[in-house]
Amino acid sequence: MKIVKLLIILIGILIMACSNQNNNPFFNEWDTPFQVPPFDQIEEAHYIPALMEGIDRENKEIDDIVNNSAPPTFENTIETFEASGQFLDKVSSVFNNIRGTNANDNLDKIATEFAPIRTKHNDDIKLNSKLFEKIKSVYDNADRNNLTIEQNTLLDKIYGDFIRNGANLTDEEKVELRKINEELSVLTLTFRQNVRNDGNEWKLVLKESDLIGLSQSIRLAAANIADERGNKDKWVITLDKPSWIPFLTYSERRDLREKVFTAYINRGNNNNEYDTKEIIPKIVNLRIKRANLLGYETHADYVLERSMAKTPENVYKLLNKLWKPALNRAKSEAYDLQSIIYKEGNNYKLEPWDWWYYAEKVRQDKYDLDDNELRPYFAVDNVRDGVFWLANQLFGITFEERTDLPKYYDQVKTFEVKEADGTHIGILYTDYFPRKGKGVGAWCSGFRYQSNRNGNWVHPVTINVGNFTSPVGGKPGLLSFDEVETLFHEFGHALHNLLRNRTYTNQIMPRDFVEFPSQIMENWASEPEVLKHYAIHYETGEPIPDELISKIQNASLHNQGFETIEYLAASFLDMDWHTLPDTGNWDALEFEKASMDRIGLIPEIIPRYNSYY
């Protein structure tokens, strides 16, 4: 790994020889509006020199703390440490966000080569005994009554971070921990890249006779993907959610539904260059070793210590409490779906790839609600403007689209967020549609986070990312209600980033608390008053009728057994992997089967997230 580091440094030197720091935007003050990243100036060649410079700068900042001859205080040790690494964070936030949304081979290569370097750098800090001595001195001797709640919490967190990252280990144990962390950094990155690449490369090319059951909008979307993928005059289904979910929901070709579903659940399990089955036990065993080395029985004990759940026992208690009623509900739903299969004159058994298709039939029959009837009311811009309106009603803030800010992709939109009096709050980027090289799912992240150190208010630059139904055939992106709820959910995370009022950037809240603001916002999506404001028919301009709102609310519990079991099964699987106390030669497929057999998962449903993706 020293060779890898040397190569990276040499690459950086060579690049910098060709392009000095003055030509690298990361080394200059950003003169863009609100100092957002100058995406139009940033090139791939800029990342390595800037990342390595970030490490050098943070090392010097740490040395200054260690070599300070003054007695350690909260101000000269804790606050100074918390403020270190800002240059590295600036570069990393841009690189990580771009790689998550616009990945390519070059960016993946940079990430793979830099991961062990960054890990070593982090270990150099957390295992720095002289630095820890100063932090411990402040922790042991601080006058807690003269510190604010935020300062006390920060002190506890930083001290705890050092303990949790091996500060109290012997020198021999620290060497072992460094080795584990380095291996994990490479393996976990490789795992994520393999899953993404395996999914991105798969496609199902259809001919016209394969389209039976698909609406015109689904056909147009598939034709558009075909053009993008080089299959002109054909139709293509991919493993992006807006493509495969509608196909499984409406396609009458059961054989093709099976192909698509099987491809989706087998990402990372195709015995090719992207296979993850051999990576999984390596990651699990390394996590076990690290947890044991740090004094924890299991990896789950280690992770949950900093959450509101606190212990694996508490997590299992909640999962078990929910499992039985949810499973009974799912079995009842499966019975209803099987009944439709028989009613239609078929004699096959319900399989996982049938669920979406027959669940939609139940929804239409039982609740008179058709997804295709709803979508015209959920044009993506209307939904987005709806959450903006809701935020205005709740918090008095406004959102103004800005067309003068640099963007990293044409479809991205940018908004300035303001207080009611016009005071600037921050910037929101929205990136809503799937494309090759973009990670699956939806998330919220940031290019810059709010802080207020020494009265220097830093305004946040946050980003909402989705993989929603794309505009096609002159129509806007028309969302399913599930996508609507996801947009509201992720916007809740964005609000959390935008409306924070804190001194320090350091995340001091429990990890599972982060979902609280997003869950609140998600629940607003189906409120009639809110629906009336954003659910506007994209052609007629008419608001959604009361009849449809009633149908949405009446159908709110439709398929909830299935959806709950999907999540719970994935949670049980995750916990079962990470409560293993001892290392072993694990076979991922066998382990997963045993885990699901233990909880009695019915074969018609699989975990939403399985081991190899």
Q: Which residues are annotated as catalytic?
A: 490
What are the residues whose beta carbons fall under 8 Å from the beta carbon of 360, sequence distance 6 or more?
A: 249, 250, 370, 371
DSSP conformation letters of 181-216: HHHHHHHHHHHHHHHHHHHHH--EEE-GGGGTT--H
Which amino acid type is present at position 451?
A: S
Q: Angle at Cα 96 formed by Cα 92 and Cα 101, nearest 5°? A: 150
CA dist., res. 397 & res. 43, Å (int): 35
- Measured CA to CA, the distance from residue 595 to residue 573 in angstroms comes to 6
Question: For 98, phi and psi rounded to 5 degrees?
Answer: -70, -40
- What values do phi and psi take at 448, rounded to 5? -155, 140
Other CB atoms within 10 Å distance of the CB of residue 608: 15
Angle between helices 105-126 and 47-66 (to 10 degrees): 10
Dihedral angle of Cα 115, 500, 455, 137, to the nearest 10 degrees: -60
Q: What CA–CA distance (Å, rounded) separates 359 from 334?
A: 9
Tell me if 380 sits within 8 A of 391, measured CB to CB. no
Question: What's the CA gap between 290 and 298, in Å, rounded?
Answer: 9
| Tokens encoding 313 | 């026992």
In sequence order, the β-bridge partners of residue 461 are 427, 448
